Structure formats: structure tokens, C-alpha cells
């Protein structure tokens, strides 16, 4: 079993204990850790509703319901992985560029130690902080983005750092490789065709929600796996990928999205993806009175932990850090 894992829920019930993610140990050093869950409680990069700063707290609270075995991938998460909750990254509320720097600084030693990062947002702008830390460790990564929006605007009200510009900034900073990256789930009213054309012009592959439905969940998963190949990948799940009927608690909801089971099934299809990090962002508890959005977000993380555990179980190697990889990878 992994060095760090949750307490046995049949000896100490799930509703008891301190609310870390899945009641994992709160550990602040990367030694002996395979995967670290980190809260990113920043939300003033949002262009519409704010309040996602309370997302990590809500996701942690919902996550205690999760159990350790994944019946479809037939894997016990903690038999293969040592997982911790590293707490929250420090942020400066209202000051996005400073917060992104603080997030990157907080995450850098974890990424540099080869720990796989799982970020709990926070609005989508936090992705830039995560990618700075991850790219410093692995070089530019393949971004797999499940989202109803491409987040590739150049500016919003003349400002370059918001949750709607984060992917363009990441490309400009050389943190992701557009030719290995893919965005799935785009839909909804947009300001003009340029909103999506800009993402394609940056070299990203786009699979709109309609195209994903036509491809089917398996076909869409195959497209993602083909696009990434064996390149180190970061998976970013904006909870607005899901239909607001399933995820109402979010900043910029778009109807016509995916059901919970569709998204979870798509994630399961990504088995083998060489992940070095992931996040689930834009969970806004104030608009989530029944807690279903936070519960879904916790289950998204569970699916990814299962993918990581299955990769270990199947004997696939950990993704090598930058200095340890042959050139060109």
C-alpha cells in the first residue's frame, strides 16, 4: 500500500474527521508522495460570478463520500499510489498576477520532485500558476481541456489576465504545446466566430460539444489519446464542461452540456494518458445549494486517481522529469 492513504472508513466512518480531500493526510513535503491534492482558492480572475474561492473547501467536504476501490478499472487507488492533501496554495485575493506567482511558487517544489499535482479551483485562471510549475519540471506539456469555453481571448476589458485568457497566456509563455493539446466540449453563445477560430489559429485542436456527441465518448477519448501521444499531459476539467443541470454551481454555466456519467465515462476512456497533473476548476458553492457540483468535482478527481493507479498497476512508467528524458520528448 502507498505510504499515505485515507483512514479505513469501516473503522472510522467517512463523516468523521478533518475535511482534507478523501480525509488524506495533510502533508507539506513531497517526500514519499506520488500525488498531491492542492486547493487553489482564487476567484477574482472570473468575468461573471465570483465565489469559486470556496470551491476547494466544498470539493473536500464532498470527497469524504468517495470509497477507495474503482469497480470499472478494478483498482484500489491507494494500493498503487501514495496520496496526500497538501493544503491550499497562498493567494492574494483581488490580485491575479501576484496570485499566479504565489501558486506557481507553492507548487514548484512538488512538481520538481515528480509529484503529480491535482488542483482544486478556484476559477480557471489558476491553471496558469499550475502550468508554470509543471512546465518547469517537465517542459511544455500537452493540455487536455474539458471545458465549454476555449479560454483563449487575448484580453478582457483591456486586461490580459483573467479566466478567459489563461490558455492563450500559457501558449505565449511556452508552457503548453498547442500541437499536442486539445479542447473538448465547446458550446454556447459566443461573441463571434473569432472566439473559437482564435483557439484553432493558436494551433489547438477543438472538439465542440456537438462534435463530441457525433464521435461518441469512446471516439472522443481516442481523439484525445491520439493528440497527446506519449507526451507529458495536464488535464484541466472546467466543471462547466458538464451541463448546469448536473453542475449548477459554476461561474459561467452553458446549457447543452454533458451528463455526469458521460463525463466520467470519457475520463475512464483516457486510461494510459501520461498525466503529470490535473485540475478541476470553477466550482462555485454559493450556486450549488444541494452540493451536486462539488460532489461531481470530487468524483472527477476520483476518476483521475483511478487512471493514475491503473497506470501504475499496469506497469507503465512514471513520466520522466525534464532532465531525465531524451531530447525531443
Residue 169 binding Mn ion, by CB under 5 A:
no
The per-residue DSSP string of 65-131 comes to: T--SEETTTTEEHHHH--EEEEEEPP--TT-HHHHHHHHHHHHHHHHHTTPEEEEEESSTTHHHHHH
Q: Is 159 annotated as a binding residue?
A: no
Kindly indicate which of the ranges 119-127, 168-176, 285-293, 316-324 contains the residues binding Mn ion, using the contact rule CB under 5 A.
Answer: 119-127
**Residue 242: which residues within 8 A CB-CB, separation 6 or more?**
257, 258, 259, 260, 263, 296
Told to check if 130 binds Mn ion by CB under 5 A, we report no
What is d(CA 158, CA 75) in angstroms, rounded to the nearest whole number?
48
Whether residue 288 is annotated as binding a ligand: the answer is no
80 is in an annotated binding site: no
Nearer Cβ to Mn ion (124/180):
124
Query: Could you tell me the smallest distance in angstroms from the CB atom of residue 237 to Mn ion?
Result: 9
Q: Distance (Å, rounded) from C-alpha 318 to C-alpha 311?
A: 9
Q: Among residues 212 and 319, whose Cβ is nearest to Mn ion?
A: 212
Residues 6+ apart with CB under 8 A from 70: 76, 77, 302, 303, 306, 309, 310
327 by DSSP, 3-state: which?
coil
Q: Which of residues 249-308 bind Mn ion (CB under 5 A)?
A: none
88 binds Mn ion (CB under 5 A): no
In the range 212-251, which residues lie near Mn ion by CB under 5 A?
238
Number of residues that bind Mn ion (CB under 5 A): 5
**Binding segment (CB under 5 A) for Mn ion, from list 66-74, 149-157, 201-209, 315-323:** 149-157
Coil/strand/helix, residue 40: strand
CB of 252 to Mn ion, least distance (A): 8
Q: How far apart, in Å, do the first and last CA atoms of the chain sit? A: 31
Q: Is 123 in the site for Mn ion (CB under 5 A)?
A: no
Site for Mn ion contains 85 (CB under 5 A):
no
Binding site residues for Mn(2+), as ranges?
Answer: 124, 147, 149, 151, 238, 240
Which positions touch Mn ion (CB under 5 A)? 124, 147, 149, 151, 238
Amino acid at each position: 500500500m502507498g505510504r499515505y492513504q485515507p483512514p479505513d472508513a469501516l473503522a472510522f466512518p467517512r463523516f468523521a474527521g478533518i475535511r482534507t480531500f478523501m480525509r488524506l493526510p495533510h502533508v507539506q513535503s513531497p517526500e514519499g508522495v506520488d500525488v498531491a491534492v492542492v486547493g487553489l482558492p482564487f476567484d477574482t480572475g472570473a468575468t461573471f460570478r465570483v465565489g469559486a474561492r470556496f470551491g476547494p473547501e466544498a470539493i473536500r467536504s464532498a470527497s469524504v463520500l468517495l470509497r477507495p476501490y474503482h469497480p470499472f478499472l478494478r483498482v484500489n487507488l491507494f494500493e498503487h499510489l501514495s496520496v496526500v492533501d497538501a493544503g491550499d496554495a497562498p493567494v492574494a485575493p483581488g490580485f491575479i498576477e501576484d496570485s499566479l506567482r504565489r501558486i506557481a511558487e507553492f507548487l514548484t517544489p512538488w512538481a520538481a520532485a515528480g509529484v503529480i499535482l491535482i488542483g482544486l479551483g478556484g476559477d480557471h485562471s489558476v491553471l496558469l500558476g499550475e502550468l508554470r510549475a509543471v512546465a518547469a519540471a517537465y517542459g511544455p506539456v500537452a493540455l487536455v481541456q474539458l471545458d465549454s469555453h476555449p479560454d483563449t481571448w487575448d484580453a478582457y476589458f483591456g486586461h490580459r489576465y483573467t479566466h478567459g485568457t489563461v490558455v492563450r497566456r500559457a501558449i505565449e509563455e511556452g508552457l503548453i504545446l498547442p500541437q499536442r493539446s486539445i479542447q473538448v466540449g465547446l458550446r454556447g453563445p459566443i461573441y463571434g466566430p473569432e472566439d473559437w477560430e482564435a483557439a484553432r489559429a493558436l494551433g489547438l485542436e477543438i472538439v465542440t460539444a456537438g462534435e463530441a456527441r457525433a464521435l461518441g465518448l469512446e471516439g472522443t477519448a481516442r481523439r484525445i489519446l491520439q493528440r497527446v501521444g506519449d507526451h507529458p499531459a495536464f488535464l484541466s476539467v472546467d466543471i462547466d464542461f458538464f451541463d448546469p443541470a448536473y453542475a449548477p454551481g459554476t461561474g459561467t454555466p452553458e446549457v447543452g452540456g454533458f451528463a455526469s456519467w458521460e463525463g466520467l465515462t470519457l475520463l475512464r476512456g483516457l486510461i494510459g494518458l501520461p498525466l503529470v497533473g490535473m485540475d478541476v476548476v470553477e466550482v462555485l458553492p454559493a450556486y450549488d445549494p444541494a452540493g451536486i457540483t462539488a460532489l461531481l468535482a470530487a468524483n472527477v478527481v476520483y476518476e483521475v486517481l483511478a487512471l493514475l493507479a491503473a497506470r501504475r498497476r499496469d506497469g507503465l512508467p512514471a513520466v520522466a522529469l525534464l532532465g531525465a528524458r531524451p531530447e525531443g520528448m
